[in-house]
Amino acid sequence: MTITTLLRSLCFGTFLAAFLTGCLGPNETSPEASRPRVDSTTLNGKVMVGYQGWFNAEGDGAGRGYNHWTSRRDQPAPGNVRVDLWPDLSEFPASERYPTRLKHPDGTPAEVFSSHRRPTVLRHFAWMEEHGIDGVFLQRFISSLSSGNSLAANNAVLENVRAGARQHGRVYALMYDLSSLKPGRADVLIEDWKQLLRSTRLTRDPNYLHHRGKPLIALWGCGFLSTDKPRPTLEDWRRIITFLKEDKTSGGLAIMLGVPSHWRSLTRDSLADPMLHELIALADVISPWTPGRYRTPEAATLHANTLWQPDLAWCQQRQIDYLPVAFPGFSWHNMKGEELNAIPRLQGRFFWSQIAAAKRIGASMLYVAMFDEVDEGTAIFKVTNTPPVGEGVQFVTYEGLPSDHYLRLTGLAGKIIRGELPVTDAPPLPVPATTKP
């Protein structure tokens, strides 16, 4: 090697180290170069999972009590729990476990985790890497940005996710949920995004997901027909989308819009306003919401053929990418008092029917809802088959299947979407004979 070549190599190495250091959060080091990393330049060929990251526990440093484990943030006990799946903490050290007043069938204390703890989030990303899951859409709920306490917790989880993505070679993008944004308050999101860019340089992170040559941002809740909470007007949506696409300092983004299932016909769960189609035409990707829209594998297949297929054709004509949503099951008995296990998982058959249907209609990407959503029973991460017991205590389980069963299915979904495996009608994982349908 000549002196000139050596100097050039050293200069490039110094530049690269400085660049990566500038993109990292505080007190973080650059990732090992040898670790396999997911391509962050495109959403195509990827299966992304939703990451709520909203769980807290007393003593975790966030000051939010048992947020999302119970309705009033007090310690979980019989009668106050609001989740329908119980996490499997068998891999967690004592430092990441938080006590409850519940017990497992063998009498051992039931414990929970906190998303505020970085080691816990890093473990979640290690599971993603182990099972070949590409990355996450980190949820950022607009309603939780109004107070310093909840805003600080959101920002802490964001930094945890960034660290997890770097350490385990995954990708991530921010997903704003605007479903509780009051009309006329578009500035809430715009100012939050400006502040994030100033304080984190988020979109310069090598693991931040890009699409069509631009950083990707997801905006969920556009055009839903609902009176259960305040929602932004379509004019508010136009202002937000225009800003994020065109602003010279904070814009230049690719936009993913989360929309109703019946957005194309402007019926049922959709506003009957043609302006919704104008907004969708501004997006780079749209993702119709499907949890709760069907309840059996047969209904999921029918939904794909009657809605997804013509949806995709509509989008292809307008050069918009199409991101279907698959979910493994549904239950919010403890949160809403409704039927336990309302949409059964059927040992993964329900989930797999949607994965197969997405591939068969020609989808090149997939969104799985959710990674850690135990509130509504849609989680795919590790949960226990021996949840707490007691009077008035009821939980859904994975039907005796291994706790990583849905992590494995989600990793296989990526191979199906990319064409690395042939699509099959049944999940390509063995089901132990001892499990119950």
Please give the full DSSP string across 105-156, using - where no structure is assigned. TTSPEEEE--TTSHHHHHHHHHHHHHHT--EEEEEEEGGGGSSHHHHHHHHH
Coil, helix or strand at residue 204: helix
Segment 26-55 mean pLDDT: 82
| Residue 431, pLDDT score | 82
| Residue 389, pLDDT score | 97
389, β-bridge pairs: 103
| Residue 148, pLDDT score | 86
Give the model confidence (pLDDT) of 413-437 as tens digits. 999 999 999 999 999 998 876 665 4
* Structural contact between residues 342 and 296, judged by C-beta atoms closer than 8 angstroms: no
Gyration radius of the chain over CA positions: 22
pTM (predicted TM-score): 0.92
φ, ψ for residue 145 (rounded to 5)?
Answer: -100, 5
410-420 exposure pattern, b = at least 16 Cβ within 10 A, e = fewer: bbbbbebbbee
Asked if pLDDT for residue 31 goes beyond 70, the answer is no
| Residue 125, pLDDT score | 98
Segment 190-216 mean pLDDT: 98
| Distance of alpha carbon 93 from alpha carbon 32, whole angstroms | 25
Asked if pLDDT for residue 250 goes beyond 60, the answer is yes
| Residue 435, pLDDT score | 60
| Distance of alpha carbon 420 from alpha carbon 37, whole angstroms | 18
* Structural contact between residues 158 and 165, judged by C-beta atoms closer than 8 angstroms: no
Which structure tokens are listed for 7? 């100097």
- CATH homologous superfamily of domain 36-417? Glycosidases (3.20.20.80)
Among positive and negative, which fits the CA dihedral 310, 262, 367, 425?
negative
| Residue 228, pLDDT score | 86
Asked if pLDDT for residue 211 goes beyond 60, the answer is yes
| Distance of alpha carbon 167 from alpha carbon 37, whole angstroms | 9
Q: Is 428 exposed, middle or buried (0-12, 13-18, 19+ CB in 10 A)?
A: middle
Closest C-alpha among 357, 356, 384, 379 to residue 368: 379
Cα 396 to chain center, whole Å? 21
| pLDDT-above-70 percentage for the chain | 91
Give the model confidence (pLDDT) of 301-332 as tens digits. 999 999 999 999 999 999 999 999 999 999 99
Give the model confidence (pLDDT) of 59-75 as tens digits. 999 999 999 999 999 99
Q: What is the DSSP letter of 366?
A: E
Owner of token pair 């519940």: 102
Q: Which DSSP string do the residues of 31-94 spell out, in sequence order?
A: PPTTS-----S-STT-EEEEE------TTSSSS--SBTTBTTSSPP-TTTB--SS-B--TT--G
Q: Is the peptide bond before 175 cis (omega within 30 degrees of 0)?
A: no
Confidence of residue 91 (pLDDT cuts 50, 70, 90): very high
Q: How far apart, in Å, are the Cα atoms of 155 and each of 33, 167, 370?
A: 27, 18, 20
Among 3-17, 147-161, 229-243, 260-274, which is the least confidently predicted range? 3-17
| Distance of alpha carbon 47 from alpha carbon 367, whole angstroms | 6
| Residue 188, pLDDT score | 97
Asked if pLDDT for residue 27 goes beyond 90, the answer is no
| Residue 35, pLDDT score | 72
| Residue 436, pLDDT score | 54
Asked if pLDDT for residue 205 goes beyond 70, the answer is yes
Among 9-13, 178-182, 194-198, which is the least confidently predicted range? 9-13
